[in-house]
Structure 1
Amino acid sequence: MPNILFLCSKNKLRSPTAEAVFSDIEGWNVYSAGISHDAEVHVSLEDIEWADYIFVMENVHKKKLSQKFGNAINRQHVISLGIPDDYEYMDDVLIDILKSKVPEYVK
Structure 2
Amino acid sequence: MTQQLDRPLRVVFVCTQNKLRSPTAEAVFRDVPEWQVVSAGTDKRAETPLTRDLLEWADVAVCMQKQHRDWIRSKLKGALPDDRILILGIPDDYEFMDADLVLLLNKLVPSRLEKVKPKEDQA
Measured in 2, the distance between the counterparts of 1:38 and 1:80 equals 22
Measured in 2, the distance between the counterparts of 1:15 and 1:75 equals 19
2:122 equivalent to 1:84 = no
1:1-107 matches, cutoff 5 A = 1-74=8-81, 77-107=84-114
Amino acid at match of 1:20: A
Amino acid at match of 1:103: P
Instruction: Give the TM-score of the pair, scaled to structure 1.
Output: 0.95
Provide the identity percentage.
Answer: 41
Instruction: Give the TM-score of the pair, scaled to structure 2.
Output: 0.83
Shift of 1:76: 6.0
Aligned length in residues = 107
Amino acid at match of 1:11: N
Measured in 1, the distance between the counterparts of 2:93 and 2:11 equals 23
Measured in 1, the distance between the counterparts of 2:16 and 2:105 equals 17
The SS at the match of 2:61 is strand
Q: Closer, same or farther in 2 for the Cα pair 1:49/1:90, shift >3 Å?
A: same
Measured in 2, the distance between the counterparts of 1:55 and 1:84 equals 14
Name the structure where helix makes up a greater proportion of residues.
1
The SS at the match of 1:6 is strand
Larger Rg: 2
Measured in 1, the distance between the counterparts of 2:15 and 2:63 equals 6
Shift of 1:74: 2.6
CA RMSD of aligned residues (A): 1.2
User: Is the CA contact 1:17–1:90 (under 8 Å) kept in the aligned structure 2?
Assistant: yes
